[in-house]
A and B are shown apart, each in its own frame.
Chain A
Amino acid sequence: MAPYEDKTEIQKDITEMVHQFVDEQIIPNAEHFDHEDTFPEAIVEQMKELGLFGVTIPEQYGGMGLDLTTYAMIVEELSRGWISISGVVNTHFIGSYLLMKFGTEEQQEYFLPKMATGEIRAAFSLSEPEVGSDVQGIKATAKRDPASGDWVLDGQKMWVTNGLGSGVVFVLMRTDPKADPPHRGMSCFITEKTPWVEQNEGAFAGLEVPPKIKKMGYKGVESTELIYSGYRCPEARILGGAEGIGRGFSQMMDALEVGRVNVAARGVGIAQRALELALRYSQERRTFGKPIAQHQAIQFKLADMATQIEAARLLTLKAARMKDAGVRSDLEAGMAKLLASETGKECVEQSFRIHGGYGYSKEYEVERLYRDAPLLLIGEGTSEIQRMVIGKKLLERNRI
């Protein structure tokens, strides 16, 4: 790999395959699924066959054992097609990360092989109707039933991507309401459920999935509430077992750090697509006797987009590579997420402007991008939260 190159041979081969898959299977079909707001099952089934649900899961569990960097490259390609597709993979990736890093051996052996093939898909959940960025304020609780030793979960969760179709949800619950600070009293539960079922029964009774939330964009993949009321969870399904009690907050924050790299890659992907559409349209569309791409006003927009994308991509790869090397990367992951998600929104808007009136029409792909991109400004920590984290870290590292 030459010093200026981004990818190894294997990474090139993998992204080339995913790129082709996106061009042939995702981009031509995204409009349909977006319009109908239906789950792209046929695409997801193909992705299972290609091994895209087991990218980072170790080979011993049937995965590919690839690193975060390669995963981020795959996510960029998928998001270039449609961010809802990377949304299907993303929560699954977070779930497998939690298991790989904090799960007991039994938990890993039970879940990871089924997750590597995509047989069960994972979701994760922190937010509640009244709590988003301020995770320490969650209200949902789990209480130990002294008779059986099981934990009983109660509370309402919000904005759960893949909330209905997933077979397992990693959910953060308050297990010690008196803990001070509150985050020491939180635990992560591995809650199994029946995929695509609203009222769970039998062993999973007490978990209800209300109808999916109607959204501006990011369609096709469902975002739901989850209502836990008397859902029973054995202690063996606390992430990390009994030792995981009280560690849920830090486990989730750790996972969100890799999640930020993931969202950054999605920002780069959607921005890249916005640029591609702008490059094509601006060479086709003519005003004042020439293609609009020959006007400096448009060229400047294209130049800014391409420059921002390259910078966001490099920062995303840097954060991923640091994480892979085991180097602390919270600052870089936050920066990557901030820059790339803002770049996504910015490039989509510029592409929309270049498309003029047609960009406002549902006939053109950029209209969907315009509705999809804002998700990335919110999901996995808003830009404002990223800035708070970055600012705090900077001051910590540069204290006088």
Chain B
Amino acid sequence: MKICCLVKEVPDAAVQKRIDAGTKRLDRSGERTLNPFDTHGIEAAMQIREGGAVAVDEIVAVTMGPDTAVRALHKSVALGADRSLHLSDPALSGSDVCATGYALAKALETEQPDLVLLGQQSDDGECYTIGAVVADHLKMPSLTQVIKMDVSEGKLVCQRQAEYGYDTVEIALPAVISVGDAINEPRYPSLKAIMGAKKKPLDTKGTGDVGIDPSQVGEAGSKTQVLGINPPPPKQSGEIIEDEDTNETVEKIVAWLEERKLI
């Protein structure tokens, strides 16, 4: 079995995020790191390998991003991936979710994975959708927010977090699974793994190498366009109930909750 883990380089959580007013894109000039959500995908791949239910031949970290994204790949390898694939091309700059998903799918086609894993969201764009777009292009089934996976030959039984509980779904491989952060606790890369990461194979590929149609990617190839950026509306101040008579207060709270059908 070959597992590909989609990973992304994102601004470090400690960096104050800022939108560049000119480009209307996230200012990525500060310290960057591997998207923490994707570390759960890599850990999930490692646990499948170590679980022994199926033989995992290879775990490949795949990213699309500028030169600096190599660090995210190194970290992915330090966390357990065997090698990495870096899709990097100026033509890809400015791609929206659809274009990025298409480009990643083309890169994945060259790998022919049995399973694609990724974090449920990125720490910057937070679209939650890239897995589904990739799956659509690859014509593979897809699940999101998976928090438990049992793998056996040719299929997966997954538990996914739903609004009112958990869905248990059987899914045929190959498939694209985006995992929730409750699925596991990613391990820390050892010093040895960190030091060895730069020695593991890393392929850099451009759009032409993986058969990407240049008209489908980049800013021009994106189907969405950012027209304006506004801060979210300020949070409305809540209703304060003064506690004069506790029985009355409880009644008021219960009435408030019932009114909103919360109890």
Using a CB–CB cutoff of 8 Å, the interface residues on chain A facing chain B are 9-10, 13-14, 16-17, 20-21, 46, 49-52, 54-55, 64, 66
Stretch of B42-50, B113-121, B187-195, B232-240 at the chain-chain interface: B187-195
- Chain A minimum-CB-distance residue to B186: A20
Is B40 engaged at the interface, CB distance under 8 Å to the other chain? no
Which residues on the B side are within 8 Å of A13 (C-beta)?
Answer: 71, 74-75, 78, 189, 194, 197
Which residues on the A side are within 8 Å of B190 (C-beta)?
Answer: 49-51
Contact A51 B75 (CB under 8 A): no
Which residues on the A side are within 8 Å of B71 (C-beta)?
Answer: 9, 13
Select B191's contact among A9, A16, A52, beta carbons within 8 Å: A52
Which residues on the A side are within 8 Å of B78 (C-beta)?
Answer: 13, 17
How far in angstroms is the closest Cβ of chain A from B13?
A: 10
Contact A10 B188 (CB under 8 A): no
Contact A17 B189 (CB under 8 A): yes
Pairs A-B, 4 closest by C-beta atoms: A51-B191, A51-B190, A50-B190, A13-B194
Question: Given A9-B71, A14-B194, list of 6 further CB < 8 A pairs?
Answer: A9-B74, A17-B188, A49-B190, A51-B191, A64-B191, A64-B192
Task: Given the known inter-chain contacts A9-B71, A13-B74, please indicate yes or no for A21 contacting B188, CB distance below 8 A.
Answer: yes
- Chain B minimum-CB-distance residue to A50: B190
Give 22 A-B contacts (CB < 8 Å), ordered by A residue. Answer: A9-B71, A9-B74, A10-B194, A10-B198, A13-B71, A13-B189, A13-B197, A14-B191, A17-B78, A17-B188, A17-B191, A20-B188, A46-B188, A49-B190, A50-B188, A51-B190, A51-B191, A51-B192, A52-B191, A64-B191, A64-B192, A66-B191
0 or 1 for each of B3-47: is its CB under 8 Å from A? (1 = yes) = 000000000000000000000000000000100000000000000
How far in angstroms is the closest Cβ of chain B from A27?
A: 15
| Complex Cα spacing A49 to B195, Å | 15
How far in angstroms is the closest Cβ of chain A from B67?
A: 13
Contact B195 A10 (CB under 8 A): yes
Docked complex: B186-211 residues within 8 A CB-CB of A: 188-192, 194-195, 197-198
How far in angstroms is the closest Cβ of chain B from A10?
A: 7
How far in angstroms is the closest Cβ of chain B from A19?
A: 10
Contact B195 A16 (CB under 8 A): no
Using a CB–CB cutoff of 8 Å, the interface residues on chain B facing chain A are 33, 71, 74-75, 78, 188-192, 194-195, 197-198
Which residues on the B side are within 8 Å of A46 (C-beta)?
Answer: 188
- Chain A minimum-CB-distance residue to B191: A51
Contact B33 A64 (CB under 8 A): no
- Chain B minimum-CB-distance residue to A14: B194
Contact B191 A50 (CB under 8 A): yes
Which residues on the B side are within 8 Å of A17 (C-beta)?
Answer: 78, 188-189, 191, 194
- Chain B minimum-CB-distance residue to A12: B71
Which residues on the A side are within 8 Å of B191 (C-beta)?
Answer: 14, 17, 50-52, 54-55, 64, 66
How far in angstroms is the closest Cβ of chain B from A249?
A: 33
Which residues on the B side are within 8 Å of A49 (C-beta)?
Answer: 190
| Complex Cα spacing A270 to B195, Å | 27
How far in angstroms is the closest Cβ of chain B from A293?
A: 16
How far in angstroms is the closest Cβ of chain B from A89?
A: 12
| Complex Cα spacing A232 to B33, Å | 54
- Chain B minimum-CB-distance residue to A46: B188
| Complex Cα spacing A54 to B194, Å | 14
Which residues on the A side are within 8 Å of B192 (C-beta)?
Answer: 51, 64
Among B33, B74, B188, B190, max chain A CB count under 10 A is at B188
How far in angstroms is the closest Cβ of chain B from A202?
A: 35
Among A20, A46, A49, A52, max chain B CB count under 10 A is at A20
Which residues on the A side are within 8 Å of B74 (C-beta)?
Answer: 9, 13
Which residues on the B side are within 8 Å of A21 (C-beta)?
Answer: 188
- Chain B minimum-CB-distance residue to A64: B191
Contact B33 A16 (CB under 8 A): yes
| Complex Cα spacing A52 to B189, Å | 12
| Complex Cα spacing A353 to B191, Å | 38
Which residues on the B side are within 8 Å of A55 (C-beta)?
Answer: 191
| Complex Cα spacing A313 to B110, Å | 47
| Complex Cα spacing A270 to B96, Å | 44
- Chain A minimum-CB-distance residue to B193: A51
Which residues on the A side are within 8 Å of B198 (C-beta)?
Answer: 10
Which residues on the A side are within 8 Å of B194 (C-beta)?
Answer: 10, 13-14, 17
- Chain A minimum-CB-distance residue to B74: A13
Which residues on the B side are within 8 Å of A10 (C-beta)?
Answer: 194-195, 198
Which residues on the A side are within 8 Å of B189 (C-beta)?
Answer: 13, 17
| Complex Cα spacing A21 to B191, Å | 12
| Complex Cα spacing A302 to B11, Å | 26
| Complex Cα spacing A46 to B75, Å | 19
| Complex Cα spacing A17 to B189, Å | 7
How far in angstroms is the closest Cβ of chain B from A75?
A: 14
| Complex Cα spacing A20 to B79, Å | 14
| Complex Cα spacing A54 to B192, Å | 10
- Chain B minimum-CB-distance residue to A54: B191
| Complex Cα spacing A46 to B188, Å | 9
How far in angstroms is the closest Cβ of chain A from B185?
A: 9
Which residues on the A side are within 8 Å of B33 (C-beta)?
Answer: 16
How far in angstroms is the closest Cβ of chain A from B37?
A: 14
How far in angstroms is the closest Cβ of chain A from B192?
A: 5
Among B75, B78, B194, max chain A CB count under 10 A is at B194
Which residues on the B side are within 8 Å of A66 (C-beta)?
Answer: 191
Which residues on the B side are within 8 Å of A50 (C-beta)?
Answer: 188, 190-191
How far in angstroms is the closest Cβ of chain B from A153?
A: 35
Which residues on the B side are within 8 Å of A20 (C-beta)?
Answer: 188
How far in angstroms is the closest Cβ of chain A from B73?
A: 12
Task: Given the known inter-chain contacts A9-B71, A13-B78, A16-B33, please indicate yes or no for A64 contacting B188, CB distance below 8 A.
Answer: no
| Complex Cα spacing A66 to B191, Å | 10
- Chain B minimum-CB-distance residue to A25: B188
| Complex Cα spacing A50 to B190, Å | 4
How far in angstroms is the closest Cβ of chain B from A379?
A: 25
Which residues on the A side are within 8 Å of B188 (C-beta)?
Answer: 17, 20-21, 46, 50
